[in-house]
């Protein structure tokens, strides 16, 4: 995949954000029973599995901006240079083997609320980069139905959040959506269901959620709590993020605030949280509006349970704005990503005009300034698998010992090793298992997503059998460790 980091030509690696934690040394509590870990990847976003450490730092990473951005621009008459994605609206469908995107477009509509006709369009792609607009035949525009517009509700279809619900048993409700409409003259979050993600039963339960804080982001079905989860903007003196739950996708609890600006952030509003599952962790792109400049930024946040959230580095951008004169110089807003192949695909809306209603008319009329198209468009950035956060050692050796875990299978690690890394397997008391110490470990000196760890030609499977309590000790120099796992 051809990628390019802003401002330089480089291979698709990562640019480190400000480090959140520096782990110079010490020990953490390791009481209680061994922590049972299954076959999923263990991400090192916090100290859940860490027993002791020295000379390490935890680093959050930025994605690499795609060199062909923007990948979708509003070239069609019904788009008028104003297209964008929001929240949870892109997926890779393994059944149809294609990427699917539901993106927003809007234009002047004097008879509609706020004088705007918000609509949703549908696009598909084989590679996630080059997109086509299938003719859906649902809506007449300009005297023809040959367009990719999805039928809207009473007035609008705005900010669609879409999931393909593998938990659902009714095929007519396989695809679920929340969207914004104006129903009976009042703004509302409405729900819709579909068999194919194209033909929708809108306001399906006839229970619109009337609210002026209608920016809601859908996480999806949380198997751990047997609930659907949605994050909605909560409006007070400042905007915050609240969490709502539902058993049936119809009736939702009132939002409980889970993220709010800090005491020193009186100039900030939290506009939305594009939350998503990744392995057994919840990540999110927090949309932060800088009030004085009216910039929209995306911060990285993380949670183990979806309720208690941590901002990795408040004020630091997960996605950088483009340089002055670029297509995304004013605002960038990332949506829940797609995991495909060896990459995390992060789509986002970028704009190069100030966020104000006064700008929309000139944009829709084909505004060009200093030879640059003024627009809202859709871009792509990529991150390596598990690449949100790593534990890093510099040229001074660092060590990490896990708490006691119960594991079985073959140990693999995701790591970029510029120097050297060795791993030892210890028993529950911290004594190296015979033949599986760091000295026995075959050194790792390369960058790979799935390093197979071996000790004199043996894998961890031979040491662990059907499962036993162990600790892992990582010795590393000039290395970044992203995750470890045990395969069957």
* Pair 53, 143 in one domain: no
Residue 155 CA, chain-centre distance (Å), reads: 30
Predicted pLDDT of residue 360: 77
Residues 6+ apart with CB under 8 A from 65: 3, 4, 5, 6, 320, 379, 380, 381
Highest mean pLDDT among 111-120, 144-153, 322-331: 144-153
The Cα 391–Cα 61 span in angstroms is 11
Predicted pLDDT of residue 17: 36
The pLDDT confidence band at residue 48, using thresholds 50, 70 and 90, is very high
Domain closes at, from 329, 351, 384: 384
* Pair 407, 373 in one domain: no
The average pLDDT across 300-329 equals 91
The average pLDDT across 263-289 equals 91
Say yes or no to pLDDT of 281 above 60. yes
Range of the domain at 451: 18-60+394-487
Say yes or no to pLDDT of 7 above 70. no
The Cα 199–Cα 15 span in angstroms is 41
* Pair 179, 305 in one domain: yes
The average pLDDT across 6-10 equals 37
Owner of token pair 């959506």: 177
Predicted pLDDT of residue 2: 41
How confident is the model over 348-371, as pLDDT tens digits? 999 998 776 667 778 888 889 888
Cα torsion 242, 243, 248, 251: sign: negative
Predicted pLDDT of residue 356: 66
Residue 6 placed within a domain: no
Indicate which CATH number applies to the domain containing 40. Answer: 2.60.120
Kindly state the percentage of the chain with pLDDT values over 70: 90
CB contact burial 400-429 (16+ within 10 A = b; e otherwise): bbbbbbbbbbbbbbbbbbbeebbbbbbbee
Length of the chain: 488
* Pair 299, 364 in one domain: yes
Residue 3 placed within a domain: no
Say yes or no to pLDDT of 488 above 90. no
Tell me if residue 464 falls in helix, strand or coil: helix
Predicted pLDDT of residue 110: 59
* Pair 292, 228 in one domain: yes
* Pair 201, 281 in one domain: yes
Predicted pLDDT of residue 108: 67
How confident is the model over 119-142, as pLDDT tens digits? 999 999 999 999 999 999 999 999
Element (H, E) at 201: strand 200-201
* Pair 196, 123 in one domain: yes
Residue 9 placed within a domain: no
Predicted pLDDT of residue 477: 98
Token pair of 84 as six digits: 């964008």
Instruction: Please provide the average confidence, as pLDDT, over all residues in the chain.
Output: 89
Indicate which CATH number applies to the domain containing 182. Answer: 2.115.10.20
The average pLDDT across 406-419 equals 96
Domain closes at, from 360, 384, 408: 384
Say yes or no to pLDDT of 30 above 70. no
Higher per-residue pLDDT: 26 or 187? 187
Predicted pLDDT of residue 403: 95
The Cα 231–Cα 229 span in angstroms is 7
Domains in the chain, number: 2
Residue 4 placed within a domain: no
The average pLDDT across 207-217 equals 87
Predicted pLDDT of residue 415: 98
Say yes or no to pLDDT of 65 above 80. yes
* Pair 32, 153 in one domain: no
* Pair 289, 177 in one domain: yes
Pairing state between β 295-303 and 281-290: antiparallel
Token pair of 319 as six digits: 């996605």
Predicted pLDDT of residue 297: 79
Token pair of 288 as six digits: 């932060």
The Cα 159–Cα 118 span in angstroms is 9
Predicted pLDDT of residue 103: 98
For residue 254, is it left (φ>0), alpha (ψ between -120 and 50) or beta? beta
Say yes or no to pLDDT of 27 above 70. no
Predicted pLDDT of residue 466: 80
Domain closes at, from 384, 409, 439: 384
Predicted pLDDT of residue 397: 94
Predicted pLDDT of residue 23: 43
Predicted pLDDT of residue 31: 58
Predicted pLDDT of residue 9: 31
* Pair 372, 243 in one domain: yes
Say yes or no to pLDDT of 20 above 60. no
* Pair 318, 411 in one domain: no
Say yes or no to pLDDT of 286 above 90. yes
Say yes or no to pLDDT of 28 above 60. no
Residue 5 placed within a domain: no
Residue 94 placed within a domain: yes
Predicted pLDDT of residue 193: 97
Residue 322: name the closest of 144, 65, 81 by CA.
65
The pLDDT confidence band at residue 5, using thresholds 50, 70 and 90, is very low
Predicted pLDDT of residue 365: 82
Say yes or no to pLDDT of 265 above 50. yes
Kindly state the percentage of the chain with pLDDT values over 90: 72
Higher per-residue pLDDT: 169 or 111? 169
Predicted pLDDT of residue 115: 65
The average pLDDT across 239-254 equals 95
Residue 13 placed within a domain: no
* Pair 440, 421 in one domain: yes
Residue 144 placed within a domain: yes
């Amino acid at each position: 995949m051809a990628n390019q980091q802003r401002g330089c030509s480089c291979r698709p690696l990562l640019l480190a954000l400000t480090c959140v934690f520096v782990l110079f040394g010490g020990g953490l509590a390791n009481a209680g029973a061994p922590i049972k870990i299954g076959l999923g990847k263990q991400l090192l976003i916090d100290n859940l599995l860490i027993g002791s450490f020295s000379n390490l730092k935890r680093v959050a990473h930025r994605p690499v901006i795609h060199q062909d951005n923007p990948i979708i621009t509003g070239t069609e008459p019904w788009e008028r240079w104003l297209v964008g994605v929001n929240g949870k609206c892109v997926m890779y469908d393994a059944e149809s083997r294609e990427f699917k995107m539901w993106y927003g477009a809007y234009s002047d509509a004097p008879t509609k609320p706020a004088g705007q006709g918000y609509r949703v369009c549908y696009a598909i792609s084989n590679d996630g980069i080059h997109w086509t607009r299938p003719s859906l035949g649902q809506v007449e525009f300009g005297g023809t139905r040959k367009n990719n517009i999805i039928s809207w509700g009473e007035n609008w279809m705005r900010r669609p959040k879409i999931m393909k619900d593998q938990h659902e048993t009714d095929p007519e409700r396989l695809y679920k959506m929340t969207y914004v409409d104006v129903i009976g003259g009042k703004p509302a979050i409405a729900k819709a269901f579909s068999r194919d993600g194209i033909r929708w039963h809108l306001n399906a339960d006839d229970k619109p959620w009337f609210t002026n804080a209608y920016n809601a982001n859908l996480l999806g079905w949380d198997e751990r709590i047997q609930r659907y989860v949605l994050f909605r903007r909560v409006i007070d003196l400042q905007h915050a993020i609240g969490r709502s739950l539902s058993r049936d996708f119809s009736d939702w609890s009132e939002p409980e605030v889970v993220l709010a600006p800090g005491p020193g952030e009186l100039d900030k509003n939290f506009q939305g949280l594009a939350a998503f599952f990744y392995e057994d962790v919840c990540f999110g792109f927090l949309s932060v509006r800088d009030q004085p400049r009216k910039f929209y930024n995306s911060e990285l946040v993380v949670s183990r349970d979806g309720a208690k959230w941590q901002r990795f580095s408040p004020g630091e951008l997960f996605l950088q704005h483009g340089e002055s004169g670029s297509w995304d110089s004013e605002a960038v807003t990332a949506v829940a990503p797609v995991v495909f192949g060896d990459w995390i695909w992060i789509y986002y809306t970028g704009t190069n005009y100030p966020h104000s209603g006064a700008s929309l008319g000139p944009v829709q009329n084909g505004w060009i300034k200093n030879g640059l198209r003024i627009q809202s468009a859709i871009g792509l950035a990529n991150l390596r698998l598990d690449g949100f956060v790593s534990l890093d050692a510099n040229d001074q050796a660092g060590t990490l010992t896990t708490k006691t875990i119960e594991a079985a299978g073959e140990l693999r690690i995701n790591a970029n090793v510029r120097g050297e890394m060795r791993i030892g397997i210890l028993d529950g008391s911290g004594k190296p298992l015979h033949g599986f110490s760091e000295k026995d470990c075959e050194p790792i000196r390369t960058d790979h997503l799935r390093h197979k760890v071996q000790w004199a030609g043996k894998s961890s499977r031979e040491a662990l059998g059907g499962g036993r309590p162990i600790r892992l000790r990582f010795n590393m120099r000039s290395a970044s460790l992203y995750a470890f796992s045990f395969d069957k």
